[in-house]
Amino acid sequence: MAFRWKGDLKDHHVTDEALWLNRRQIIGGAGGLALAGLAGRARAAEELEPNSWEEITSYNNYYEFGTDKDDPKAYADALTTEPWSVTIDGMVDKPGQYALEDILSQMTIEERIYRFRCVEAWSMVVPWNGFELADLLNMAGVQSGAKYVAFETVLRPEEMRGVSYPVLDWPYVEGLRLDEAMNPLTLLATGIYGKDIPNQNGAPLRLVVPWKYGFKSIKSIVRVTLTDSEPPTSWNKANPREYGFYSNVNPQVDHPRWSQATERPIGGGFFAKRKPTLMFNGYGEEVASLYDGMDLSEYF
């Protein structure tokens, strides 16, 4: 079913977190998980307590706007996100430049509450709105030889003050194996708390892969390419010893400079009790089989 997200949003006046919480309570009380106008999906993660809008939108990583956690909120507004189009190319039946509006008119927007865990050992819980990456790939028609999906962030030096510094090799790029990309947990997010996704979180379209570290969730995507070889990824290029292609959340594999066994939930205060990190960020039941037979300390 087609769902015109932006139009519906304005109609429903979903303006803040309090309203969102209230709406969930009402719907929860009626005994259903499905949200009004949204196809809901029962997940253990739905029971997580989400972080506040303020926390989710003011402690960010988006190096195109600076390397400090508060830079994206301060500077990402400079990015023009309308109009927006995404080039889908490589091993697909229908390559081309797709207007985001046209893509959205064919996608079903859902709400998914996912654990989000960063490699620097902090974590949040985010109520995303988005659609399954698999739906976009199926729309473009994946050819039989394709094995990987490569993603690219927009590169606009005149709007992105951080790209004049060579902290990463711009544009930011990421990749997934095709089966990871097709997994129903993998989302392309367009919103948070029922509102349009703010620029600092990757407007208008960003990847969310809940069993992987945060840096896999590439922001402001302009290109999706199907390939038969493993694509380069920004953090792996910058430091291959510290960041692998897979980047699955794994408490047993430490980052060379810090332990990955526990995490600090954002919002609990800096001295809040650290929590043990869960294998695959708690999504093992859904994704562990993707890695059967692989040595995850080698393929980290």
- Binding stretches for ligand MTE (CB under 6 A): 60-64, 118, 153, 172, 201-202, 214-215, 217-219
CA angle, residues 59, 63, 65, in degrees to nearest 5: 85
Rounded alpha-carbon distances, angstroms, from residue 83 to 30, 222, 224: 39, 12, 18
Options 175, 214, 244, 282; binder of Mo ion; rule CB under 5 A: 214
Closest separation in Å from C-beta 152 to Mo ion: 18
| Residue whose CB is less far from ligand MTE, 201 or 248 | 201
By a kind-dependent CB cut-off of 5 to 8 A, residue 199 interacts, out of ligand MTE, Mo ion, none, with: none
SS3 169: coil
Q: Which stretch binds Mo ion (CB under 5 A): 27-35, 212-220, 270-278, 281-289?
A: 212-220
Residue whose token pair is 């840096």: 215
| Residue whose CB is less far from ligand MTE, 91 or 130 | 130
| Residue whose CB is less far from Mo ion, 59 or 215 | 215
Which H or E element spans position 71? helix 71-75
Cα-Cα-Cα-Cα torsion 195, 40, 38, 10, nearest 10 degrees, comes to -20
Options 61, 129, 217, 248; binder of Mo ion; rule CB under 5 A: 61
For residue 169, which amino acid is it? D
| Residue whose CB is less far from ligand MTE, 53 or 172 | 172
Closest separation in Å from C-beta 153 to ligand MTE: 4
Closest separation in Å from C-beta 87 to ligand MTE: 16
* Residue 123 interacts with Mo ion (CB under 5 A): yes or no: no
Closest separation in Å from C-beta 124 to Mo ion: 11
Q: In 3D, which of 196, 235, 232, 240 has the Cα closest to residue 213? A: 235
Spatial neighbors of 31 by CB under 8 A, at least 6 apart, are none
H helix and E strand count, the chain: 9, 12
| Residue whose CB is less far from ligand MTE, 16 or 169 | 169
* Residue 215 interacts with Mo ion (CB under 5 A): yes or no: yes
Measured CA to CA, the distance from residue 114 to residue 45 in angstroms comes to: 6
In the complex, the residues that contact Mo ion under the rule CB under 5 A are 61, 118, 214-215
